[in-house]
Structure 1
Amino acid sequence: MSTSERIVKANGVELCVESFGDPADPAVLLIHGAGHSLLAWDEEFVGRLVAGGRQVIRYDRRDAGRSTGSPAGSPAYGLGDLVADAAALLDALGITAAHVVGMSQGAAVAQLLALDHADRVASLTLASSTPGGPGHHHPDLPAMSREIQEFFANEPDWSDRAAVIDYLVEAERPFAAHSRPFDTDGMRAAAERVVDRTADIAAQLTNPFMIDASEPWRGRLGHIGAPTLVLHGTEDPLFPIGHGRALAAEIPGARFVPLEQTGHEVFPRHQWDVVIPAILDHTAAD
């Protein structure tokens, strides 16, 4: 375990958390997507937020990295538990309210956090998201690509490290923008770190996609009071950009920023000069 990582008890589970920056600075809580861990948030990306005067917190959700997990194929929790975990983590860290940044399923957690624990959310940044969360059917919005549907039908031999690393690399390929080269070497290096750090890689890569998505809440989005920034890739194959536009339209006062040459991926480096200033501006004091 990294010397800066620690295990925090919150909502009856153990969450691995890592904090960067001055605790006196405004807190930014990063919530990763399904199948990812805190490693999804690049340390250089985090460092640039810290340099902008933010305390940044990243953590492993249940079944991710070094946090409490369930047996692969049998998640003992639902989306609502992940929301309660995030609120309890803020309690454990002594943070009254945070600027919450969520990616994909993490953005679903962030939406519900803003609805059900409004006093804990100073602002909301939603990336690669959809109105109401993954797992709910939205017939008025574009469907995921066939390539993504086919990806979800396959699994590797979880006991074979090399096969799992190959799977992780290839799993990212269909989610990335096709208009720019895929960084196979970079993805492989990242996959090796993920596999070697994760307590149960099979659980991390299966359980989050199986959990109960809770009751649909798209109709409640108009009640979100936190200032909201919506970031969405123009080439997102899982939630085509219409999802991001709809999400921004349904949250009062939300600002929408399209990310060119970006798929369903955690802020690729070529967009950092857009994303980081946008987040710093969005999380600045009035």
Structure 2
Amino acid sequence: MTETMVTAGPLRLWTERTGDPGRPAVLLIMGSSAQGYSCPDTLVDRLVDRGVQVIRYDHRDTGLSSVVDVDRHPYGLSDLAADALAVLDAYRLPSAHIAGASMGGMIAQWLGVHAPDRVRSLTLLSTSPMGARPGDLPPPADRFLEHLADTAGDPPGVDADVALFRVMNGDVRPFDEPACRAMLERCWARAVDPSAAAHHGLIARMAGPDLRTPLSTITAPTTIVHGDRDPVVPLAHGEALAAAIPHAELHVVPGMGHVYCSPGLPELIAGLIRL
């Protein structure tokens, strides 16, 4: 395992590679406001056991990566996709298997549409069609929205995030609080500016015509993995993706919510990532 800071235009992004550099690569792209370490180590290790190298990284405004002055330099999904391409370039990877979760899944779709030569396969986890407009698909579950409303004035920190992850985990599979708390403590301890991650909430305002390119233009082999108890992005979003992308395979994981904080779930997800 090696950590490297790579250059993406004027920014520097923290990256980590695990596994044999001579193997095919999987690039893991995490969700909104999420560091690379929000992907469980057990998922990374299981992928390496499957015979690949795994690269994960901190988005701009998260973890050890550069903090952006968004008032002067607003950015959108295409800019985050350019960051992902910069990571591939830094590792001299002409292409990789791309696995993206939540917002990371939208970045992965963007790459599949606009940079198809860099994509060996797509795995879209717990995500929504990148061009979907408000009202096109079901909203988050009431219990998730109620949690956000009830905690809106609470101080940020590990405890607040553990409570949020408990709700996002869904209401069926057990919540592995010790593992989740350890991950969140690790992320909070290494964040250059924890408040900067909130900048990702502005991305929807930067939607451009590049997000409306039909997903039917995706040619990479695609797998969609979605939980049937996702309180943030309901299953209908994954079903819409499967209908839009030619020959996509949809795997519905019973009882899975929006995060992978149940015992055994990271290993299960690693086994479904397309290689």
The secondary structure found in structure 1 opposite 2:64 is: coil
Q: 2:199 aligns with which of 207, 225, 231?
A: 207
Alignment partner of 2:186 out of 186, 193, 215 = 193
Distance in 1, matches of 2:133 and 2:167, equals: 21
Q: CA RMSD in A?
A: 2.1
CA drift at 1:72: 8.2
Provide closer, same or farther for how the CA distance between residues 116 and 64 of structure 1 changes in structure 2, counting only shifts above 3 A: same
Cα 1:13–1:58 shift into 2, 3 Å = same
Unaligned runs of at least 5 residues, structure 1: 159-163
Contact 1:129 1:244 in 2 (8 A): yes
**Are 2:218 and 1:224 aligned?**
yes
What corresponds to 1:144 in structure 2? 140
String of CA shifts for 1:36-61, please: whole Å, max 9, x gaps: 10111122221111111101000001
After alignment, is 8-17 or 96-105 more displaced? 8-17
Deviates more, 1:25-34 or 1:64-73: 64-73
Matched to 2:127, the amino acid is S
* Per-residue Cα deviation, 1:152-210 (whole angstroms, up to 9, x for no partner): 4525445xxxxx11111112122112013323333222221111011111112x11112
Distance 1:75 1:168 in 2: 28
Residue identity matched to 1:234: D
Residue 264 of structure 2 corresponds to 270
Correspondent of 1:52 among 45, 50, 53: 50
Percent of pairs identical after alignment?
38
- CA distance in 1 between counterparts of 2:200 and 2:178 reads 26
Write the mapping of 1:106-117 to structure 2, written as runs, cut at 5 A: 106-117=104-115
Deviation at 1:276, TM superposition (A): 2.4
Question: How far, CA to CA, are the matches of 2:202 and 2:136 in structure 1?
Answer: 24
Aligned equivalent of 1:249: 243
Query: Which residue number in structure 2 is paired with residue 24 of structure 1?
Result: 22
Query: Which string of whole-angstrom CA distances, capped at 9 and with x for unpartnered residues, describes residues 205-251 of structure 1?
Result: x1111223523635510000111000001100111101101101100
- Report the 3-state secondary structure (helix = DSSP H, G, I; strand = E; otherwise coil) of the residue aligned with 2:170: coil
The match for 1:122 is 120
Range that drifts further, 13-22 or 217-226: 217-226
| CA pair 156-74 structure 1, distance change in 2 beyond 3 A | farther
2 CA distance for matches of 1:91 and 1:4? 16
Which residues of structure 2 form unaligned runs of 5+? Answer: none
Match of 2:6 in 1: 8
The corresponding residue for 1:104 is: 102
Alignment of 1:35-114 (within 5 A): 35-70=33-68, 76-114=74-112
Tell me, in whole angstroms, the C-alpha distance in 1 between the residues paired with 2:113 and 2:167: 32
TM-score normalized by the length of structure 2: 0.91
Output one character per residue of 1:7-62: Cα deviation in whole Å (capped at 9) or x when no partner: 11123310000001111111100000012101111222211111111010000011
SS in 2 for 1:16: strand
* Alpha-carbon distance between aligned partners in 2 of 1:57 and 1:80, rounded to the nearest angstrom: 20
CA contact (8 A) 2:176 2:261 kept: no
SS in 2 for 1:125: strand
